[in-house]
Amino acid sequence: MNILYQRILLLTKYISYLATTRDRAVAARQAHNLEVGGATPPPATK
């Protein structure tokens, strides 16, 4: 296999890994920072 092809393949995998890691961090941050609708939460039961 050509060395240039190997390096391009490795770089592509690394960029994909970084994008996936960033997306997971964003999702975790959004789940942690949920917005509250009001000062008092609605009752749990009717």
What pLDDT, on the 0 to 100 scale, is given for residue 6?
93
Per-residue pLDDT tens over the stretch 1-46: 699 999 999 999 999 998 898 888 888 887 777 765 566 666 777 6
What pLDDT, on the 0 to 100 scale, is given for residue 11?
94
Supply the pTM of this predicted model.
0.52
What pLDDT, on the 0 to 100 scale, is given for residue 2?
92
Euclidean distance between CA atoms 21 and 17, whole angstroms: 6
Euclidean distance between CA atoms 23 and 9, whole angstroms: 21
Residue from 41, 23, 25 nearest 33 by CA: 25
